[in-house]
Amino acid sequence: MIRLICIAVFLILYLILSIPVFLVEWLIGKFNPQARDISSLRIVQWGFKVILKMTGVKVTVIGEENIPDEPVLYVGNHRSFFDILLTYSRCKRLTGYIAKKEMEKVPLLSIWMRFVYCLFLDRENPKEGLKTILKAIEYIKKGISICIFPEGTRNKGEELSLLPFKDGAFKVATKTGCAIVPISMNNTCEIFEAHFPKIRKTHVVLEYGKPIYPDELDKDTKKHISEYVRNIIDETIHKNAELL
57-243 is classed in which CATH architecture?
3-Layer(aba) Sandwich (3.40)
Which pLDDT belongs to residue 11? Answer: 94
Rounded to a whole number of angstroms, the distance between the first and last alpha carbons of the chain is 24
Residue 60's DSSP bridge partners are 205
Residue 164 per-residue DSSP state: P
Q: Can you give the pTM of this predicted structure? A: 0.95
Which pLDDT belongs to residue 123? Answer: 80
Which letter, b or e, does each residue of 137-165 get, where b requires 16 or more Cβ atoms within 10 Å of its Cβ?
A: bebbeeebbbbbbbbbebbeeeeeebbeb
Amino acid present at 181: V
Q: Where are the domains of the chain?
A: 57-243
Separation between Cα atoms, residue 78 and residue 75, nearest integer Å: 10
Kindly tell me the number of DSSP H helices and DSSP E strands found in the chain: 9, 7
Residue 76's DSSP bridge partners are 183
Q: Which of 214, 162, 165 is nearest to 185 (CA)?
A: 162
| Residue 43 CB neighbour total at 10 angstroms | 17
Contact in structure between 64 and 42 (CB atoms under 8 Å)? no
What is the four-CA torsion angle of 206, 95, 70, 187, rounded to 10 degrees? 10
Which pLDDT belongs to residue 241? Answer: 96
pLDDT one digit per residue (tens) for the chain, 244 residues: 889 999 999 999 999 999 999 999 999 999 999 999 999 999 999 999 999 999 999 999 999 999 999 999 999 999 999 999 999 999 999 999 999 888 888 889 999 999 999 999 888 888 888 899 999 999 999 999 999 999 988 999 999 999 999 998 899 999 999 999 999 999 999 999 999 989 999 999 999 999 999 999 999 999 999 999 999 999 999 999 999 9
